Chain A
């Protein structure tokens, strides 16, 4: 009951004009960013974050804006998946399998509307899941000490290393690079200047926004140079614009199943929207595809992954808000956003900032209704944006990114550092290093070091404290399992692929 009262207060926060406006702007921008191939939620959030900060938005409004962008992206990704057979973001990859064939059959309107509907259902389920489980998890996490936190962060990193990218070693190294970047600047405990090389600009450490924009916006611009797709050749969203009741009933249970599974996968650190949609697509195919129509334009194959990627996005908020340990790149960026406002997410957040947390959750309900309205009747508008040529789009992204970074400190130094990091990120991405773990490492770096040092200060330097409680031991074991199991699976698969002579 407590949760419902809090949620009610949350609606009062979310319904203020500025927060409604932010949800609307975020939903719109998110759908556009999601629809544009190459740009995903992390780019959208990264580009808008410094602007929100520069506009001196209050923390709650800024978070509402960024969350709406995130959810909007999960809606928008399907538009390009269905109309041009290119996923607009990673979570929409599975949607191309059945969405594009449907569009070729002239059922683009049906595919677009049913996927918007299943996204909506899933997002509502995901948000209800947040209401039910987030406060309980936060309450449980209150008992965490520094040793538990350190182990939890190691677990989050292990999850990423096991699941993201093809090479766990590269993922781990990416994470370490992020952690190392976070050590730059004055050390809070001892006052020692680390890795500043005497430059006053680095005394406070590398700005979060500089790292995020460099890695996700500048490097993206360089990667877009290799894209073959250049606007045009968009399928006409002709024919019936709305799905009918029969189609809604036909996809209903698949949507519900996928929403629930997607939510659980989203809560796990490391696994995000793309894994959720892939898993649920396979599950639905195995469960319901008796005639072998999946992959040939089956409407259930459109509804299921779209439901999963939306509820996974909702689920991903839970570890970030309640534990202060983000499980994905996008939520890591949002956590960085909160840190800019001197708000540390974690179990205390629900006690100390109830307006922020519940306002955010309530705004997700509101944002979803806005997104549904935008994404069915107005889908043609977004489809037209796919025809914007890159020679206009890319300079616009560059200019807005530079404005965002400049707005924080107004120094050329930050701009140059951002560009340098962007080129570095581009090289890493060309070498198949994933970027999400790097940003996660950067966000967690300071927390991780502080918790480690605090834990060892409590025990007077005895490392046994790191294994001192049931929770820590459980987390270390879980981390080991997350690292070893995918490795074994991969090793088995590789052995199968290449028969030894």
Chain B
């Protein structure tokens, strides 16, 4: 069932992709195949594949393996933590963002508060020193604090 829902959504996306691709035209054409042929070819294959997944007769009942208890909630929280990390990376700087994300991820993987707090501080500071200072990979300290 999940497969079919995905295939349906994907089919719609493919149609959107094809509609956008159709508008691409080269102003000066010096080759027989323009910029839109290849994307349209891909859209065609993609549409056939998703139609197959959407409509195929099913012999074996295929369902997703169930998530462990509260798995969905934990997965969503983890995704939120990672997205927040991405957005905060430059704003509050690498060391602080890393401390926060380590605490968030560490908790969702079952670490105790003191453990994840220490791990966060250790990772935030040591990775910053390692990359920014020792290896010359510039990391942000936070645009928020500068203004």
Binding site for B on A (CB under 8 A): 51, 54-55, 169-170, 172-173, 176-177, 179-180, 183, 187, 189-192, 194-195, 218, 221-222, 224-226, 228, 230, 389-392, 394-396, 398-400, 402-403, 406-407, 410, 412, 415-416, 418-419, 422-423, 426-427, 430-431, 448-449, 452-453, 456-457, 460-461, 494, 498
Would you call the interface of chain B mostly helix, strand, loop, or mixed? Answer: helix
A54 contacts B53, CB within 8 Å?
Answer: no
A422 contacts B119, CB within 8 Å?
Answer: no
**A-B contact number at CB 8 A:** 185
CA–CA, A230 to B49, complex, Å? 38
CA–CA, A225 to B71, complex, Å? 8
Contacts of A396 in B (CB 8 A): 123, 127
Pick the residue among A170, A195, A412 that contacts B89 (CB under 8 A): A412
Known: A55-B137, A192-B24, A192-B26. A180 touches B39 (CB 8 A): yes
CA–CA, A484 to B69, complex, Å? 41
CA–CA, A423 to B49, complex, Å? 22
B78 contacts A221, CB within 8 Å?
Answer: yes
CA–CA, A282 to B6, complex, Å? 37
Binding site for A on B (CB under 8 A): 2-3, 6, 10, 17, 20-21, 24-29, 31-35, 37-39, 42-43, 45-46, 49-50, 52-53, 59-60, 64, 67-68, 71, 74-75, 78-79, 82-83, 85-87, 89-90, 94, 98, 101-102, 105-111, 115-116, 119-120, 123-124, 127, 131, 135-140
Known: A172-B45, A396-B123, A456-B32. A183 touches B86 (CB 8 A): no
A412 contacts B87, CB within 8 Å?
Answer: yes
CA–CA, A402 to B86, complex, Å? 8
Would you call the interface of chain A mostly helix, strand, loop, or mixed? Answer: helix
B127 contacts A390, CB within 8 Å?
Answer: no
Pick the residue among A55, A391, A399, A410 that contacts B98 (CB under 8 A): A399
Which residue in chain B gives the minimum CB-CB distance to A173?
A: B49
Contacts of B49 in A (CB 8 A): 169-170, 172-173, 176
Contacts of A391 in B (CB 8 A): 105-107, 109-111, 115-116, 119
Contacts of A180 in B (CB 8 A): 17, 39, 42-43, 46
B105 contacts A395, CB within 8 Å?
Answer: yes
A389 contacts B86, CB within 8 Å?
Answer: no
CB distance from A258 to the nearest CB of B (A): 32
CA–CA, A169 to B86, complex, Å? 33
A452 contacts B109, CB within 8 Å?
Answer: no
CA–CA, A228 to B71, complex, Å? 12
A54 contacts B59, CB within 8 Å?
Answer: no
CA–CA, A117 to B9, complex, Å? 50
B33 contacts A452, CB within 8 Å?
Answer: yes
Contacts of B29 in A (CB 8 A): 190
Contacts of A494 in B (CB 8 A): 59-60
* 30 interchain pairs, CB-CB under 8 A: A169-B52, A170-B53, A176-B49, A180-B17, A187-B24, A190-B34, A190-B35, A191-B27, A192-B35, A194-B39, A218-B82, A221-B82, A222-B79, A224-B109, A226-B67, A226-B68, A228-B68, A399-B102, A399-B127, A402-B85, A403-B94, A410-B140, A418-B86, A419-B86, A422-B82, A431-B3, A453-B38, A457-B33, A461-B32, A461-B33
